[in-house]
Structure 1
Amino acid sequence: MPQLLLLPGFMLDQTLWDDMRDGLAQLGQLHFGDLGQDDSISAMAARVLQNAPPRFVLVGFSMGGYVAQAIMQQAPQRVIALALLNTSARQQDPREIAGNRMQLELARQVPFKGLTSRALASSLHPDRAHDRVLLDRLQAMALRNGKEVFIRQLSALRSDGYAELENIRCPTLVVASSNDQLSSIAEAELMAARIPAAGMVVIEDCGHMTPLEKPGELLQILSGWLSQSVNR
């Protein structure tokens, strides 16, 4: 049974996978990476590698997908297979960087009360933007992470990683969602085109938070992919 290493997104934690956890445990032994202790993507990757099993299947969601790509640069020989969920290899543009700087200045001055309702809503399918249960779960993760993690993760700049994708040699799955307002299908397609052994799946009627919005479908996709690429 393979070792499965799961990386969450911005201001999320391992409870992101709760609705899939039992099913994922059928696929491999679960490990959860901590992305809250460092303020750069490369440092996050190095810390995850320090605590990871010798070889593993790597699943990176959103910001965790950027960290997964950094892991592929730092220790490609340790990754048996790679799944990139609702993520990108695009660098932040000047407008995003400026926006982050403003948020950082504000965050350092005031108590942390979680993510804004607008930020939370934009991560879900428009039809679920007022789903109190999902919004509360997202906010609970953000509050558990707290102010210091918010500052560290917001400080972590994302550089252009498209050129590096061509060096990925392990079986790779790229998953995108039809209504993702944070990571576009076009970005996912560009990633899949650059990675030599990549396949791509689009989940319909789903926003950015695939593990919360469509856990059953995502589990089925990962299960089918793993049985083909790892358990042959």
Structure 2
Amino acid sequence: MSMLLIPGFMLDADLWRDVTPGLGEFGPFVHADLFQDGTIKDMASRVLAQAPETFILVGFSMGGYVAREIVRQAPERVKALVLIATSARGDTEVQRQRKEAVAHKPDSVSFKGLSTAAVASSLHPDNAGRQDLIARIQAMGQRLGSDVFRRQSLLERVDERHLLADISCPCLILAGEQDKLRSRTEAEELHEGISGSSLQVIEKTGHMIPLEAPDELITVMRQWLDGLEA
């Protein structure tokens, strides 16, 4: 079995650096390429073309939308699904306005990176001053650069809540205790919509669970995955 890891907005494989050592028996690990396409469907198709025949699928935040599209495109290949700090809701009016602003910026406007304030606001209050975490998140964004920022910023997220019942593989949903970007209600919507799914809340973390609480994430995932094999 392999584990396919899908990062979130302006994040790369470094998102999982502290998680994969504790999940070694579920590897090898494959890191999804979300950096060349401008739609969720195209991202999912590219990931599937590069993925093993079957795998455990893990999607974080934006990657959760891609993960569910992968399940729709190739349900027989997904043996288990883990959704972390994500949602099935579509874009809000505020998000649509932000996309309009990005779309109307000339290509010549360079990407200056994710702001310290924006990154800090995604973290648990106890972690908001952790410069190591903030710098690590910003470094991922800088590596990906302006073209990826534009494509990912313009991604359309449609409301998928009516499609959740079609997911039949085992599913674990994880939420951060103080996630300001994705609410507990959104996690509960996923749980209610996906029959037989499990929902767990990880304490003392904000949105960036794989970075803020890797040990807790490992523990919860291992227990759940071990339970599937029992």
TM range, normalised to the smaller chain? over 0.9
Question: Where in structure 2 are the equivalents of 1:76-225 lying within 5 Å?
Answer: 76-106=75-105, 108-225=107-224
Structure 1 unaligned regions, length at least 5: none
How many pairs align? 230
Inter-partner Cα distance in structure 2 for 1:150 and 1:185 = 27
- How far is the alpha carbon of 1:22 from its aligned partner? 1.1
Structure 1 residues 137 and 104: alpha-carbon distance in aligned structure 2, compared to 1, 3 A threshold: farther
Tell me the CA shift for residue 104 of structure 1: 3.9
In 1: Cα distance, 2:170 partner to 2:106 partner: 40
Residue in 2 that maps onto 1:56: 55
**Counterpart for residue 17 of structure 2:** 18
TM-score of the superposition, structure 1-length normalised?
A: 0.96
Cα contact 1:61–1:87 (8 A) shared by 2 = yes
Q: Give the residue type in structure 2 aligned to 1:79.
A: V
Displacement, 1:107? 6.8
Counterpart CA distance in 1 for 2:190 and 2:148 is 28
For residues 174-225 of structure 1, the C-alpha deviation after alignment (integer angstroms, 9 at most, x for no partner) is: 0001100111110000110110120000011110000000000000111111
Cα-Cα RMSD: 1.2
SS at match of 1:108: coil
d(CA) in 1 for partners of 2:95, 2:51:
31
Q: Which amino acid aligns with 1:81?
A: A
Q: Within the alignment, does 1:71 sit opposite 2:61 as a pair?
A: no
Retained in 1: the 8 A contact 2:102–2:154?
A: no
Q: Which amino acid aligns with 2:184?
A: I
TM-score by length of 2: 0.97
Question: Structure 2: any 5+ residue segments left out of the alignment?
Answer: none
Deviation for aligned residue 1:29: 1.4
Query: CA–CA distance in 1 between the matches of 2:188 and 2:10?
Result: 25
Moved over 6 A (4+): none
Q: Percent identity?
A: 46
Q: Distance in 1 between matches of 2:167 and 2:87?
A: 15
Aligned to 1:228: 227
- Hey, what's the Cα distance between the residues in 2 that align with 1:4 and 1:57? 5
Aligned partners of 1:25 and 1:145: how far apart in 2? 27
Q: Tell me, yes or no, if the aligned pair for 1:38 and 1:152 is still in contact at 8 Å.
A: yes
Q: Within 5 Å, give how 1:9-48 maps onto structure 2.
A: 9-48=8-47
**Structure 2 contact 57–82 (Cα < 8 Å) conserved:** yes
Separation in 2 of the partners of 1:99 and 1:174? Answer: 28
Distance 2:193 2:48 in 1: 24
